[in-house]
Amino acid sequence: MDLSALQKARYEYSPKLPGMLRNGISDICVKVGEATSSVADQDKIKALFPNTYGKEEITFVKGSNTSTPKKQVVGVILSGGQAPGGHNVVCGLYDAVKATDKNNVLLGFKGGPSGLIEDDYIEFDDEYINLFRNTGGFDIIGSGRTKLETEEQFKIVTEVAKKHGLTAIVIIGGDDSNTNAAVLAEYMAANNTGVQVIGCPKTIDGDLKNEDIEASFGFDTATKTYSEVIGNIERDANSAKKYWHFVKVMGRSASHVALECALETQPNICLIGEEVAAKKMSLSSIADYIADSVAKRAANGDNFGVAIIPEGIVEFVPEFSTLIKEINELLAGKKTEEFNALPDWAAKYDFIKNGLTAESMAVFAILPEFVQQQLFLERDPHGNVQVSLIESEKLFSALVKDKLAERKAAGTYNGKFNALHHFFGYEGRCAFPSNFDADYCYSLGYNAFMLIQYGYTGYLSKVSNLSKTADEWVAGGMPITKMMNMERRNGEDKPVIRKALVELDGKPFKFFEAHRDAWAVETAYTYPGAIQYFGPAEVCDLTTRTLALEKA
């Protein structure tokens, strides 16, 4: 296999561990903290997790290892979308497994949770693991989106675990995957299987965080990757001086990625979905807000700019959310077949007009036709609109173009507006992890095995104090149930990990809010450049602007 020079160099990088985990396995002991409770719905969560609820947070400190020695056979899966650093979680876990006892075994189940159900696995060894150290992607064993949530699935997993003599399972994933980890841990405990379950916090969207989990892995690398390209686009915009670039970035349920990229690159516009929802902004008011920046910059002779749009922005617009709900009802049951059978768009438009309320039809009518049609593309498995298919970057540039035409007709605007569109998503999910993510992920995996060795289950591997250098990081664990609440999913109340939204009173947003009016008019772009792997620590190991501001 031919390797790039960077691949070869990254294989040889030695990830930094938290100071406490560098002491050696035999010199790590547990400091037990206070008992925990869920973030909401305590009685309901406690009733659903009687064996794993209310456990204490723990921290690893220097001292004599008091765990009971035994052979460990650990299974690991990658679950959900890719995020940079996933390979290093597995590598850190493997190294800790083998450092404790070379006879311990790590099995990687392929294709995500389905690998556990189908008993499709590989036994890791040094030769195989060494091919994936410090690299991007999830191709070490692949990933999948199968949910572990039914009694039948749990029974199958239990039989697979019994067959291999598994003592623990590590689930590397986001909020849904770690919710599944908590449910599986409860099942294993309730049925006295002896199998522990540990989770690791992953998602580039940045919405798996709280007072304990300071960052989900992959967020640092993905936002740096997007910011590099946004910075390149800003430089090009400032060179050509004739285009407005509308850039959509990942973030379906929260705007952390957009905010971090804005802090890194200082664009003219960045929409924050949580603010749009809080202020109940309409599509028209958002378009006016962007058009104001376009007009002010044009008055200065700057007929160019950059706007960052979160992927899920339209779901935060109250009137658009209402429209989507009505469309979901309009096409419920067999009405989808009736709609699809109509001969052309004109007939379908009449069908829609007759089925929506006047208020929602007014919103629908102002949408460009391509967006109207995107709302009626293939439904998701639950029969709902797939909002991710809506090209919101094109939607807002079209609405702004209409606003500017109105202003030009009224004599209040005399600039030029030419829009270009970009969507940055997959480009950031499998990038070579930054030093921060390489170190953080390796630490999460190494730490996960320490939790296993000390007998914990239903815990999330936790590494904190992340704004400091790695030797000051703190390793430990927290019960997954601490992050949970009840939410309505598919007509049922389900226990889930609460997603973390952008906090409008938090330091990162406040910093952005204090500067955005100037950025909207001035050309204040910053150019982060490519991720640096070698050189001064202040260049190579720095964390996100979000985390730096939160911990300042």
DSSP line for 483-550: GEEEEEETTEEEEEEPPPPPPTTSHHHHHHHHHHHHHHHS-------SPP-SS-HHHHS---HHHHHH
Verify whether residue 350 is a known catalytic residue. Answer: no
Residue type at position 84: P
What residue has token string 């556990």?
116
Cβ(402)–Cβ(287) below 8 Å = yes
Tell me 245's DSSP state.
E
Tell me 299's DSSP state.
H
Backbone phi, then psi, for 403, in 5-degree steps? -60, -45
CA distances 545 to 28, 61, 262, Å, are 32, 29, 10
DSSP line for 268-287: SEE--HHHHHHTT--HHHHH
What residue has token string 């009449």?
350
Residue type at position 368: P
What contacts 24+ positions apart, CB below 8 Å, involve 124-131?
Answer: 124/90, 124/94, 129/90, 129/91, 129/94, 130/11, 131/11
Cβ(447)–Cβ(200) below 8 Å = no
Choice among 95, 175, 176, 205 that is catalytic:
205
Cβ(242)–Cβ(304) below 8 Å = yes
The catalytic site residues sit at 205
